[in-house]
Amino acid sequence: MRVTMTVNDEHHEVDDVWEGESLLYVLRERMGLPGSKNACEQGECGSCTVYVDGVTGCACLIAAGQAQGHHIVTVEGLATEDGLHPVQEAFIEAGAVQCGFCTPGLLVQTDDLLRRDPEPSDAEIREALAGNLCRCTGYEKILDAVRLAASRMKPEPGTLS
């Protein structure tokens, strides 16, 4: 079947999609967007986390046809022409990236957290990232990175966010 959707503000149209195919497969194998990682295909690891109409979900658990006509944002959509997203910079600076397999999902989920709650407590960070597994870092540096990103992204007093 043919599936069309907007990914990172670009219109995409792909053909010959199998009806039971996941959004993750479509992104990676048909659209050439390998940022979202495929590690478990069962919702356990969060490395495939993307936004669908502003709400995060595991792309491996979304049928391609369910994404038809929707707005998807992947990790590739976080950076702008001006450079990396503050969450990306914070992950690099804090040393929160080792093998990097979990990173794309963590970046999207952290971005979502900080949009909803610019000053999360440690408990709130842990809760927001509970569905993102990392086998390398031991999570401490990831927490550091989220705190760093939060401190940089905090809206200046008096400005509209």
Partner 1 sequence: MEFLAPTTLADALAAKAEHPDAMPILGGTDVMVELNFDRHRPPVLLDLTRVPELAEWSRDDRRVRLGAGVSYTRVIDELGHVLPGLAMASRTVGSPQIRNRGTVGGNLGAASPAGDSHPPLLAGGAEVELASLAGTRTVPIDEFYAGVKKHVGRPDELITAVYVDVPTGPQQFSKIGTRNAMVISVSAFSLALHPDRRRVGTGIGSAAPTPRRAADAETFIAGALDDDGLWESKGALPDALAREFGERVQTAASPIDDVRGTAAYRLHSLAVMARRTLAWAWSDYQGGTNA
Ligand X SMILES: Cc1cc2nc3c(=O)[nH]c(=O)nc-3n(C[C@H](O)[C@H](O)[C@H](O)COP(=O)(O)OP(=O)(O)OC[C@H]3O[C@@H](n4cnc5c(N)ncnc54)[C@H](O)[C@@H]3O)c2cc1C
CA 40 to mean position of chain CA atoms:
16
Q: Is the dihedral of CA 73, 123, 61, 32 positive or negative?
A: positive
Phi-psi region of 32 (alpha: psi -120 to 50; beta: other; left: phi over 0): left
Q: How far is the CB of 13 from ligand X (least distance, A)?
A: 26
Residue 68 interacts, among ligand X, partner 1, ligand FES, none and using kind-specific CB cut-offs from 5 to 8 Å, with partner 1
User: Binding residue for ligand X (CB under 6 A) from 13, 19, 42, 123?
Assistant: 42
Q: How far is the CB of 136 from partner 1 (least distance, A)?
A: 19
In this structure, the number of other CB atoms found within 10 A of the CB of residue 126 comes to 14
Q: How many residues does the chain have?
A: 161
Which residue reads 């990790």 in tokens?
75
The secondary element (H helix, E strand) that includes residue 149 is helix 140-153
Residue 57 interacts, among ligand X, partner 1, ligand FES, none and using kind-specific CB cut-offs from 5 to 8 Å, with partner 1
Q: How far is the CB of 153 from ligand FES (least distance, A)?
A: 22
Does 43 sit near ligand X (CB under 6 A)?
A: yes
CA-nearest of 61, 39, 42, 140 to 50 is: 61
Q: How far is the CB of 45 from ligand FES (least distance, A)?
A: 3
Segment lying near ligand X (by CB under 6 A), choices 20-28, 29-37, 42-50, 85-93: 42-50
Q: Would you say 126 or 147 has its CB closer to partner 1?
A: 126
Segment lying near ligand X (by CB under 6 A), choices 11-19, 41-49, 62-70, 74-82: 41-49
Q: How far is the CB of 43 from ligand FES (least distance, A)?
A: 5
Contact 58, 18 (CB under 8 A): no
Written as one letter, the residue type at 97 is V
